[in-house]
Amino acid sequence: GDSQPPEWVHSAPGSVVGCAMAPPSLLTRTTLTVLAAMPKTIHFLRHGQAVHNVRAEALRDRGCSGDEFIAQMKEDDALDADLTSLGREQALEAGERVAAHKLAADVELVVVSPLSRAIETAIICFGSPDQVAYPFVCLEPLREWNGYLQN
């Protein structure tokens, strides 16, 4: 969208966008070595509805073909589309599920696409990086890549 990314998001060399990290005391070499040796659970979360999804999702809900869906997505495509009000509600609901299942208690790292809708969804679900004890990392390769659309 037209809005600026949060102040903790900054460009880095190459195709990676860096984000502020947790307090350095949390990220000592010993801590990282211990964390790396422990089994990990990975949770995947899709961003909430974005402004470029609205019409295509309505078509899909009415039973359109895959070609019709993609054609509508192409027509409405927008680089870095913002979340809709529904998208923010979806992110809040996901955050409530994260809280209800106490998933955030074991979070060590939040990895997110640099698209604003993904960053906003992550913040709504897991808290702002300056308010939580785990780092957020934005990675360019997590951007949507499907060969048709620019986002």
Interval 36-52: pLDDT, tens: 777 777 888 889 999 98
Interval 62-81: pLDDT, tens: 999 999 998 998 898 888 89
If we measure between CA atoms, which residue out of 99, 115, 118 comes closest to residue 48? 118
pTM (two decimals): 0.69
Cβ contact 50:57 at 8 Å:
no
d(CA 121, CA 127): 10
Cβ contact 102:72 at 8 Å:
no
**CA separation, residue 69 to residues 26, 77, 97, 150 (Å):** 45, 12, 29, 16
d(CA 53, CA 73): 7
Cβ contact 77:107 at 8 Å:
no
Per-residue pLDDT, averaged over 2-26, amounts to 41
Lookup: tokens for 87 = 């998208």
Instruction: Compute the C-alpha angle 87/52/65, nearest 5°.
Output: 105
